[in-house]
Every structure is written in C-alpha cells, then in structure tokens.
C-alpha cells in the first residue's frame, strides 16, 4: 500500500451534517444563530478595501494585536459573557466572575479554530507512553486526536445523572500519570462543574501532569477556570470564537495559560504551520473582542431562548438536562432519538443525533433564535 502505517490509526471526526440539497434551519452544530458584531463586518471590509497589499503578504505569525484584544476582552467580561454587566457601553465582569489578576497577551495562544488548538495541545502535553483521562461522553474530537498522535486514552463513564465522575477520573489519572482533559460545561451533556469543584480536582491531581479544561461553551452560564491560573501552573484553558462570539466561520480558537505553556504550544505550531491565522481572521477576531458589549447581549438572548425551550421540552414530557451551554440534551420516553431526528429533518430542521451506544436515545438541540425555536416547537407538537 502507498499509505503510511499511521493512517490506520485515523478515525476522522464526524461533524454535524451540512447538507446542500435544501435549506434547513440548522440546530445541529452548536453554531450561534446571530451574526458577528457589525464592527467585525466593518473591520473586514475596511481591511480588504484599504489594505489589499496586505493580502499579498504573510500575516503576523504571532497574532499580537489579536492576543492583546482577547486578553482585554477576558479582563472586561470575566470569561463568562452572559453574566457580564454593561453600563453605557462599558463592560464589567459579574462580581463572581472577576479575574483576580490581569490576563496578559503572553497568556494567550491562538489557532485556526479550537480544533486545531486542541490538536496542538494534545501534541504538546500528552505522551504516547501514558494514558490520559477523559470522560466517556465528551467532545468526540478528543479520541480522534488520540488516534492521530497515537496517545492511549482512558475513558471514564459518567455518573448516572450524566455528570463527570470526578473521583474516578482522579483515581485513574493518578494511576496512569498522563494528564486529564474534559469540556466544562461538557458536551453533549451540557452540564458543568463549578470552579471550586475543578479547583479541588486540580489540587488532588499531580502538578507534574497537564490539566486541560475546554471552555467552548462557558460563556452561556458555566464557571470559567481562568481565575485558577494564578494557583496552578499545569492548567490549560481552551476557548473558541465559534459559539458565544458568533464566529464559527472565522475559525478562531485560543488557549489561556501561563506563558511557559503558551510558549510550548507555540513551538508545536511553528513546527507545523507558522501562520495558522490568516490576516483577515486576525482583523475580524480583534474587532470582535473590541465589541464585548454586543456579545454580552447575544449570549443573553441565547440563554433566554434556551431556558424557554427547556421549559417547553419539560412540559412536552422530555427528560432534559439543565443546560449551561447553547444546546439542550434531551430524550423522550415515547420516541427514539433517531426517529425524532429523522422526523424533524423531514420538516426542514436539523438537530443532532449520535448513534453512540449509551446516548442513542438522546438528541442534542442547538439553541437558535426565538423564531427558529418556535418552528421547532411547532414541529415537535406535530410529531409528539
Ligand atoms: N470544543 C468543544 C467542546 C466543541 O463542542 C467544539 C465544537 N464542536 C470545539 C471545541 C471546536 O470548536 P472550533 O474548532 O469551532 O473552535
């Protein structure tokens, strides 16, 4: 065969479907239904119109302006947009989210979506000689990277209430010595640990092993672990523009960590692709971070719509988890997950169903606009 032996370990990620045959209301990939801030559009148009020569030059490999803008945004909102307070256009963190130090640009690393960032983080901190620990049901890209880099993994079942089995994760991490990763809030369950629960977890784990928290959804009501960076040197927090910053198409993800760890990930990046962020992505991301107030508002709208839809699902007889994210994870006693997904699709709406044993009864529903969720309500009312 002409393929390398490595290719045999690949089990590519399967994203939420993106059909081209018809226009669906897309509630299957946890995208944000709102467009990025108008300031993003302005900045991109201005850049392309007035600096066409810059499109012919390599972009800043270190994305310095963007890193400064991300750090500034985090200091302003405390890392949880839906709870931040806006007064006269100025954004302040909710008291419980205030970061007890200043996040500095050297604590930020950015990449082409958090998928790429996660991949480099896996390469940088997990080893092929030691198993790393993750929950059994979590972001399904983690096992894909494990295969790609040939890193053995140890998947810990969730508890009966679908929360993380923290004690078991710590026991196995202690035994394996290869570090820990989980999403907080977790996907697809939508449930989160409090910052204090994560603090206790890190305290009980080894300071010599990496502890990775993926905060892709934290802006919709979780508790960010950024404040813990003052206490723990082995903590890496991964975040994305794709959810709360309405920017899945911009392909921007980042980590927040102590500068030594940021430098390690940068070394990996510079060994693969010196310029993962193109010039337009850097401009659009910087403009997004400078309009925090806009995203506080869109995050609040998503949270409000989510809570309304949660009540609808409960009234309709669904078992539904109390979400801290922009999606709901639910199952109904009278219809299988796959059948519900198929029937909803036939009506022109896409939700997500996983054929994975253990969660096959559930569907995962991304929160869209209030109007889109009304459509889904009508659809469920017809089906159930
Ligand atoms: N982490 C989690 C938990 C996710 O659900 C996703 C998106 N599906 C990502 C990371 C990746 O997001 P992106 O590459 O768009 O930044």
**Beta strands at 180-183 and 211-214: parallel, antiparallel or unpaired:** parallel
**242, 249, 366, best to mutate for ligand 1 pocket (most atoms within 8 Å of CB):** 242
Q: C-alpha angle with apex 141: 298 to 77, nearest 5 degrees?
A: 30
Regarding whether 361 and 226 lie in a shared domain, the answer is no
Q: What is the pLDDT of residue 4?
A: 87
What value does the mean pLDDT take over residues 151-165?
Answer: 98
Q: Is the pLDDT of residue 1 over 80?
A: no
CA 383 to ligand 1 center in whole angstroms:
30
Distance between CA 290 and CA 293 in Å, rounded? 9
Reading the block at residue 315, the tokens are 């009234």
Residue 241 · residue 250 · CB < 8 Å: yes
Regarding whether 178 and 58 lie in a shared domain, the answer is yes
Regarding whether 229 and 314 lie in a shared domain, the answer is no
Q: C-alpha angle with apex 54: 49 to 57, nearest 5 degrees?
A: 155
Regarding whether 325 and 249 lie in a shared domain, the answer is no
Distances in Å between the Cα of 70 and the Cα atoms of 77, 78, 101, 240 are 11, 11, 15, 11
The finding on whether 285 has its CB within 6 A of some atom of ligand 1 is: no
Regarding whether 177 and 44 lie in a shared domain, the answer is yes
The finding on whether 135 has its CB within 6 A of some atom of ligand 1 is: no
CA 122 to ligand 1 center in whole angstroms:
14
Q: What is the pLDDT of residue 6?
A: 84
The finding on whether 248 has its CB within 6 A of some atom of ligand 1 is: yes
Q: What is the CATH number of the domain that holds 49?
A: 3.40.640.10
Q: Is the pLDDT of residue 142 over 90?
A: yes
Q: What is the pLDDT of residues 302-357, one digit of tens each?
A: 999 999 999 999 999 999 999 999 999 999 999 999 999 999 999 999 999 999 99
Q: What is the pLDDT of residue 60?
A: 98
**115, 191, 238, 324, best to mutate for ligand 1 pocket (most atoms within 8 Å of CB):** 115
Q: Which atom of ligand 1 is nearest to the CA of 183?
A: 3
Phi, psi of 161 (to 5 degrees): -85, 10
The finding on whether 240 has its CB within 6 A of some atom of ligand 1 is: yes
**Beta strands at 235-240 and 253-257: parallel, antiparallel or unpaired:** antiparallel
CA 51 to ligand 1 center in whole angstroms:
31
Per the structure, the count of domains in the chain is: 2
Q: Which atom of ligand 1 is nearest to the CA of 242?
A: 15
Q: What is the pLDDT of residue 367?
A: 98
- Give residue 292's pLDDT band: very low, low, confident or very high (50, 70, 90): very high
Range of 145's domain? 38-293
Q: Is the pLDDT of residue 248 over 80?
A: yes
The finding on whether 246 has its CB within 6 A of some atom of ligand 1 is: no
Regarding whether 232 and 333 lie in a shared domain, the answer is no
Distance between CA 265 and CA 257 in Å, rounded? 10
Nearest to 308 by CA among 217, 243, 216, 376: 376
Regarding whether 31 and 42 lie in a shared domain, the answer is no
Distances in Å between the Cα of 187 and the Cα atoms of 104, 135, 269, 324 are 29, 10, 26, 10
What value does the mean pLDDT take over residues 244-252?
Answer: 98
Distance between CA 369 and CA 45 in Å, rounded? 26
Q: Is the pLDDT of residue 9 over 80?
A: no
In sequence order, what are the residues at sequence separation of 6 or more whose Cβ sits closer than 8 angstroms to the Cβ of residue 142?
Answer: 118, 122, 134, 153, 181
Q: What is the pLDDT of residues 34-79, one digit of tens each?
A: 999 999 999 999 999 999 999 999 999 999 999 999 999 999 999 9
The finding on whether 119 has its CB within 6 A of some atom of ligand 1 is: no
Regarding whether 127 and 16 lie in a shared domain, the answer is no
CA 53 to ligand 1 center in whole angstroms:
33
Distance between CA 185 and CA 193 in Å, rounded? 7
Distance between CA 170 and CA 202 in Å, rounded? 9
**117, 139, 238, 326, best to mutate for ligand 1 pocket (most atoms within 8 Å of CB):** 139
Task: Report the chain's mean pLDDT, rounded to a whole number.
Answer: 97
What value does the mean pLDDT take over residues 150-160?
Answer: 97
Regarding whether 308 and 174 lie in a shared domain, the answer is no
Regarding whether 335 and 280 lie in a shared domain, the answer is no
What value does the mean pLDDT take over residues 266-271?
Answer: 98
* Cα distance from N-terminal residue to C-terminal residue, the chain: 51
Residue 312 · residue 171 · CB < 8 Å: no
CA 28 to ligand 1 center in whole angstroms:
13
Q: What is the pLDDT of residue 89?
A: 85
CA 114 to ligand 1 center in whole angstroms:
6
Residue 246, sorted as left (phi over 0), alpha (psi -120 to 50) or beta, turns out to be left
Q: Which atom of ligand 1 is nearest to the CA of 15?
A: 8
What value does the mean pLDDT take over residues 147-166?
Answer: 97
Distance between CA 91 and CA 184 in Å, rounded? 24
Q: What is the pLDDT of residues 200-211, one digit of tens each?
A: 999 999 999 999
Domain boundary (272, 293, 314) is at 293
The finding on whether 114 has its CB within 6 A of some atom of ligand 1 is: yes
Phi, psi of 321 (to 5 degrees): -80, 150
Q: Is the pLDDT of residue 112 over 90?
A: yes
Domain boundary (265, 293, 321) is at 293
36, with CB counted inside 10 A (0-12, 13-18, 19+), is buried
The finding on whether 253 has its CB within 6 A of some atom of ligand 1 is: yes
The finding on whether 256 has its CB within 6 A of some atom of ligand 1 is: no
The finding on whether 281 has its CB within 6 A of some atom of ligand 1 is: no
Q: Which atom of ligand 1 is nearest to the CA of 115?
A: 14
CA 334 to ligand 1 center in whole angstroms:
31
Q: What is the pLDDT of residues 191-238, one digit of tens each?
A: 999 999 999 999 999 999 999 999 999 999 999 999 999 999 999 999
Reading the block at residue 375, the tokens are 């459509």
CA 61 to ligand 1 center in whole angstroms:
23
DSSP 44-82: HHHHHHH-GGGGGSPPPTT-HHHHHHHHHHHHHHTT-GG
Domain boundary (264, 293, 322) is at 293
296, with CB counted inside 10 A (0-12, 13-18, 19+), is buried
CA 294 to ligand 1 center in whole angstroms:
21
Q: Is the pLDDT of residue 11 over 90?
A: no
Regarding whether 313 and 236 lie in a shared domain, the answer is no
Regarding whether 145 and 92 lie in a shared domain, the answer is yes
Q: Which atom of ligand 1 is nearest to the CA of 138?
A: 3
């Amino acid at each position: 065969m002409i393929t390398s032996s490595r290719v045999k370990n690949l089990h590519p990620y399967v994203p939420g479907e993106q059909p081209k045959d018809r226009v669906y209301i897309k509630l299957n990939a946890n995208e944000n239904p709102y467009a990025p801030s108008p300031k993003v559009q302005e900045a991109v148009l201005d850049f392309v119109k007035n600096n066409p020569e810059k499109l012919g030059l390599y972009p800043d490999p270190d994305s310095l302006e963007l890193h400064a803008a991300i750090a500034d945004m985090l200091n302003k909102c405390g890392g949880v947009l839906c709870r931040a307070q806006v007064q006269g256009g100025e954004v302040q963190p909710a008291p419980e989210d205030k970061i007890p130090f200043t996040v500095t640009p050297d604590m930020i690393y950015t990449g082409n979506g958090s998928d790429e960032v996660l991949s480099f983080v896996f390469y940088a901190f997990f080893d092929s000689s030691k198993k790393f620990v993750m929950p059994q049901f979590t972001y399904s890209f983690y096992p894909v990277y494990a295969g790609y880099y040939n890193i053995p993994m140890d998947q810990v079942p969730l508890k009966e209430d679908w929360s993380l089995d923290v004690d078991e994760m710590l026991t196995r991490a202690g035994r394996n010595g290869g570090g820990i990763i989980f999403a907080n809030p977790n996907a697809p369950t939508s449930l989160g640990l409090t910052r204090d629960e994560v603090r206790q977890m890190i305290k009980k784990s080894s300071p010599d092993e990496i502890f990775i928290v993926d905060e892709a959804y934290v802006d919709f009501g979780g508790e960010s672990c950024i404040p813990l960076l003052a206490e723990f040197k082995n903590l890496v927090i991964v975040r994305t523009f794709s959810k709360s910053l309405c920017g899945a198409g911009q392909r921007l993800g980042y980590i927040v960590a102590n500068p030594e760890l940021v430098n390690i990930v940068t070394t990996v990046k510079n060994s693969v692709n010196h310029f993962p962020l193109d010039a337009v992505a850097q401009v659009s991301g910087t403009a997004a971070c400078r309009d925090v107030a806009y995203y506080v508002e869109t995050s609040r709208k998503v949270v409000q719509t989510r809570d309304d839809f949660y009540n609808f699902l409960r009234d309709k007889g669904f078992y539904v988890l109390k979400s801290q994210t922009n999606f709901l994870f639910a199952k109904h006693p009278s219809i299988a997950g796959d059948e519900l997904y198929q029937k909803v699709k036939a009506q022109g709406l896409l939700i997500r169903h996983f054929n994975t044993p253990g969660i096959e009864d559930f569907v995962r529903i991304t929160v869209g606009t209030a109007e889109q969720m009304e459509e889904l309500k009508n659809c469920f009312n017809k089906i159930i």
